[in-house]
Amino acid sequence: MKIDQWSEIIGCEPEEYCDRLYASRPEWVVGTVSSYDACFLFRRALEAATNLVVEIGTASGFSTVFLCHALNLASKANLIGPDFEVVSYDLRTWFYADETRETGDAARELLEPELLEHVVFRSPATALTVATHHDHDSLSFMFIDANHAHPWPTLDLLATLDCLLPGAEVVLHDINLPVRKENFPEWGVKHLFDDLDVHKDVDSADPLPNIGSIVVPTEKELFRDQLLSILFAHTWEVDVGVDITTAALA
Q: Which contacts of 26-30 are long-range, i.e. CB under 8 A and separated by 24 or more positions?
A: 26/106, 26/109, 26/110, 28/60, 28/97, 28/98, 28/101, 29/60, 29/62, 29/106, 30/60, 30/97
| CATH of segment(s) 3-249 | 3.40.50.150
Please tell me the predicted confidence (pLDDT) of residue 220. 96
Q: Give the chain's end-to-end CA distance (angstroms, integer).
A: 39
**Which pTM value belongs to this model?**
0.94
Please provide residue 132's backbone torsions phi and psi, each rounded to the nearest 5 degrees.
Answer: -85, -10
Q: What is the pLDDT along the chain (250 residues), one digit of tens a residue?
A: 555 577 777 888 888 999 999 999 999 999 899 999 999 999 999 999 999 999 999 999 999 999 999 999 999 889 999 999 999 999 999 999 999 999 999 999 999 999 999 999 999 999 999 999 999 999 999 999 999 999 999 999 999 999 999 999 999 999 999 999 888 899 999 999 999 999 999 998 899 999 999 999 999 999 999 999 999 999 999 988 756 666 566 6
HSE at residue 189, side-chain half, CA atoms within 13 A, is 26
Question: Which runs of consecutive H residues, i.e. helices, occur in the chain?
Answer: 6-10, 14-23, 35-48, 62-76, 105-110, 113-116, 127-130, 152-160, 177-180, 188-195, 220-233, 242-249
